[in-house]
A and B are shown apart, each in its own frame.
Chain A
C-alpha cells in the first residue's frame, strides 16, 4: 500500500517533468499523494521497512510528510495563478518535491544522501530561475557552497555511525545506535548537528538563507522555507535524539543555546529589513531557533529520563514545525502576490494595499498574528508548549541550570515581542496607511488569494482545536518511548476554545457597540499642514529605537552630507545615508574566504600541471604507503 503510494507519487512527478502542460496538475497530485502517505504512516503508528530496506517509514517521518504535503499542496494550487511558467520551474520543481519526500522515507544512508544531494541541486536551479537578474547567481552559489558543507558533515557523521554499527540501514540504527560508546555519540552529535544545522539555517551558518529565499519565485520560497529547512530538524530529531537516545548531558544544553541565539538574532536582523521576502527569510531563522528550543527540551527530557518532559519537548517542536510551515508558506505566498500586484517588495515604497488587495491583506494579517504567537492562532499553542517546556526545565533544576532555563524562556519572550514589532512594521507599512510611492496595481487571480486564505483558516482552526493533532503526536511519542503519559492534560489549562470564543464574541460585541459601520472619514490631523504620505513612519523610523537599543549587535552608521554652494549654513540638498553592519559577513565569512583563497593559491604551486610531477607524486605516495605497511 505505502509502496504503491510512493510509486504513484514518483510517476505523477515524472509525468509533470516530461510535459510542461501537465506540470501544474501532476505537481498537485504528487503533493496530495505525499499528504495522504504521511497521514497513513502516522495513523498506522510504529515503524516499518518497505521494499527490502530502501524505504523506512517512521511516525516521525509521517509527521514531516504531512508538513511537506501541506506546503506543497498549497504552493501547487498557488502556481495555477502565478505567472511564472518557465521551463526551469516545471522541470526542477517535481524533482525537488520527490527528493524531499525521499529524504523523509529513505531506508538507508545511500538513499538518504542521494536524495539529499538531489534536493540541494534541484533547489539550486529553482533559486536561480531568474539568473538573468543581477546578484541571483551569486546568492545561488553561496547557497550551493553552504549546502555542500552541510552534506559533507552529514556524510562524515553517517560514516561514523556506520563504522560502529557495521550497517547503513536506518532500521538497524534505530534499534542499536543507542548502544554506541559515549565518545562515538559525541562525534556523531557534533558532525550531524553541524550538517543538519547548516541546512536549517542556524546562526552562524544562516548567511545563505536570507540570500537564497528572496530571489526564488514565491512558491519555491514557500517550499524552501516551509518544508526544506525543516528536514534539518527531522535529521536532528531522528538521528540524534531518537536513535542515539541518552548522550552526554552537554548536548541538549548546546541545542538550547543555539536555538535561543538563532531565534534572537534571526528576529533582530529581520527587524532591520525593508524587503519583505528577506524579512520573512530572517524570520525562518528565528522560527528554526524556536523549534530547536523545543528539541532541546526533548533532549533534556531524554537525559533526565522523564517521559513527560520528553513528550512535551517533542510536541512543542513538532507542532511548531507544522505551524511554521503553515504560516510561513502563507506569508511567502502573500509576499509573492504583493510582488505581482505592485512590482516591488520594498516596504518603504508600499502602503495601503489593504484597499487594493483585501484578500491577501487579511491572509497576511492572519499569518502575522500566527507567527507572533497571538491567540487564537496556532503559533500561540506551540509557543505556549515551548514556554511550558523551558519553564519546567528551569523550575526543576538547581541554581545555575535554573537561571539558564529561565534565561532561555526570557530570550524566547524577547523574541516573541520583537517578532510582534517586526510584523506590526511589516503589515502596517505595506498594507495600511497611504501609499508611499505610486506603484502599479495589477489584478491578481483568485487562485493566488485562496491558498493564502485557506492557510490562514488552517492556522486559526489549529489554534482553536489543537488536541486532535496532539493526539496524533502521541503516536510519534510512542516511537521515542515517551509514551502517552502527559497527553491528556498537556493543554488542559489553556482552554483554547474558551479563550477563542471569548475573544471573537467580545470583539463582535464591542464592534457593534462602537457602530463601526457609521464611522465617517475625515482628513487626518497634521498640525495644520497639508498632509502627505511622507509624514508616515517608514520601516526604518519605526525600528529606530530598537536599532539604538541593540547598537552593539547592529553597529549602525550614518552619514549626513550637505551639498551646495553655501553648504555649511544653507545647504541646497541634504544627502543622508544610513545602515547597519553585516557583522557575520564582515568579521567571520570575509576573513575565512580570504584565508581559504590564500591556501588554495598556495596549492597551485604543487598543482602546476606537468604530468611528470603528478607521476612523481604518485610514486612517492605508493612508496610511503609501502613504507608504512612494512
Chain B
C-alpha cells in the first residue's frame, strides 16, 4: 500500500514539476498586471528544446555533456528518497544526510560544467553557485539537527508531532521552518538571492552556468531546475507540514501544498528585490543562526 502511494507520488511530482514552475510564473505575471504565458509554458519550452540540435562549445569535454544528466539524476534520487506520504515504505532509502550529500553532488557537477565550457559566463556561474553553496550547507545542517534531535532518527520524517511534546516546541518548529524556507530560496536561486528571469550577466547566477547549454542538454537542465523546486518544497512540507492519518490523503495534501508554495513564490518574487551578491553571506548566516536557535529551543528549555 505504502509502496503504491510512494511510487504514484514520485511519478506525479516528477511529471508535474514543470507545471509548478508554470504556476509561479503565472502568479507573478498576474501580480505584475500582465497576462503572462499559460501554466503549461515550461512543457512547451522543454519540448521545443528537445527538437533542436544539440551543440557544445569548443574545448568542452565529456564533463560538460554529462553534467545535466548527473544533475537530473541527483535530484531524481532525492525525490525518490522523500517519503511523500509522510511515512516511508519498509526498507526505503530515506536517509536525511544522504539528501544533503546528493545536493552537494548536483552542485559539484554544475560547477564543473561551467568551467568546462571554457567561457567567461560558465566560470562566473560556477564560482557564484558554489560560493552560495558554502552558505547553504551549514545552514541546512542546523535544520537537520532539529529533526535529528526530536525524532532521534536518521530518516526524513515529520517533526511537528514530536515537537508538540516539548514545552518550547512551537517556537523551535516555527524558527526551524523559517530557517529552512530561507535556505530553500537560496538553494533554488529565487528572489531575494537570484532572479531566475534575468538575462543580465552582472547579476545572473544559475543562468550563467547553463548559458552554453542548448538542445537536449538545455532541456535536461531546465527540467532539473523545475525538479529542484519541487524536491526542496516537498522536503520542507514532509518535515514541517501537517500530517494526516491516511497515506493517500497525505499525498493529496502534498499536491495542494506544493501548488500553494509555487503561488507564494510568485508573490515573493513580485514583492522583494534581489540583494547584492556580496551581502549573501549575511543572509545565509542569518538563516544558520535562526536554525541554531531552533535547535537550542528544541531541547525543551534553557537548563544548563
Contact = CB atoms under 8 A, between A and B. Distances in A.
Co-complex (A, B) = yes
A365 B123 CA distance: 18
Interface stretch (A196-204, A333-341, A522-530): A522-530
Contacts of B63: 354, 365, 432
A364 B167 CA distance: 51
A409 B115 CA distance: 30
B278 to A, nearest CB: 6
Task: Summarize A's interface: helix, strand, loop or mixed.
Answer: helix
B105 A536 contact: no
Nearest to B92: A495
B275 to A, nearest CB: 14
B269 to A, nearest CB: 24
B259 interface: no
Interface string A490-521: 00011100110011001101110111101111
Given A375-B101, A413-B141, A514 B68 contact: yes
A347 B94 CA distance: 40
Given A375-B102, A394-B295, A542-B123, 17 more contacts: A373-B104, A374-B104, A399-B296, A406-B142, A410-B141, A424-B111, A434-B59, A507-B73, A510-B73, A514-B216, A514-B217, A515-B54, A521-B55, A524-B212, A525-B119, A525-B212, A545-B277
A433 interface: yes
Contacts of B140: 413
Contacts of A329: none
Given A506-B72, A506-B73, A524 B118 contact: yes
Contacts of A522: 55-58
Interface stretch (B26-34, B126-134, B191-199, B237-245): B126-134
Interface stretch (A280-288, A414-422, A467-475): A414-422
Contacts of A588: none
B124 interface: yes
B211 A525 contact: yes
Most buried by B among A351, A383, A432, A515: A432
Contact of B115 (A420, A429, A493, A526): A429
A388 interface: yes
A516 B212 contact: no
B108 to A, nearest CB: 5
A418 B135 CA distance: 9
Contacts of A513: 69, 216, 220
23 contacts: A375-B105, A384-B101, A391-B148, A399-B299, A402-B299, A428-B114, A428-B115, A428-B116, A433-B116, A493-B93, A494-B98, A502-B80, A506-B77, A514-B220, A515-B216, A516-B69, A519-B54, A519-B65, A525-B121, A536-B120, A542-B123, A542-B126, A548-B278
A165 interface: no
Interface residues of B, number: 88
B234 to A, nearest CB: 17
Contacts of A86: none
B101 A374 contact: yes
A371 B102 CA distance: 14
Contact of B123 (A383, A520, A537): A537
B51 interface: no
A554 B162 CA distance: 43
**Size class of the contact patch on chain A:** 35 or more
Interface in B259-280: 277-278
B108 A518 contact: no
B115 A537 contact: yes
B174 interface: no
A72 B253 CA distance: 58
Contact of B66 (A355, A507, A509): A507
A416 B58 contact: no
A387 B118 contact: no
Contact of A510 (B62, B68, B131): B68
Interface stretch (B1-9, B16-24, B40-48, B149-157): B149-157
Contacts of A428: 111-112, 114-116, 123, 126
Contacts of B72: 506, 510
A198 B152 CA distance: 37
Contacts of A369: 105, 108
Contact of A519 (B55, B105, B137): B55
Contacts of B141: 387, 406, 409-410, 413
A519 B124 CA distance: 24
Contacts of A514: 54, 65, 68-69, 216-217, 219-220
The 10 closest A-B pairs by CB, nearest first: A537-B123, A428-B115, A506-B73, A510-B69, A524-B57, A424-B111, A395-B149, A495-B93, A410-B138, A417-B137
Contact of A499 (B93, B144, B211): B93
B70 interface: yes
Given A399-B304, A413-B138, A545-B127, A424 B292 contact: no
Nearest to B110: A424
A522 B281 CA distance: 37
Contacts of A520: 53-56
Given A493-B95, A493-B155, A521 B58 contact: yes
B56 A506 contact: no
A432 B61 contact: yes
Contacts of B292: 403, 406-407, 410
A398 B296 CA distance: 9
Contact of B54 (A518, A545, A548): A518
A279 to B, nearest CB: 16
A510 B303 CA distance: 52
A428 B134 CA distance: 18
A507 B95 contact: no
A434 B60 CA distance: 8
Most buried by B among A365, A409, A516, A522: A516
A541 B215 CA distance: 30
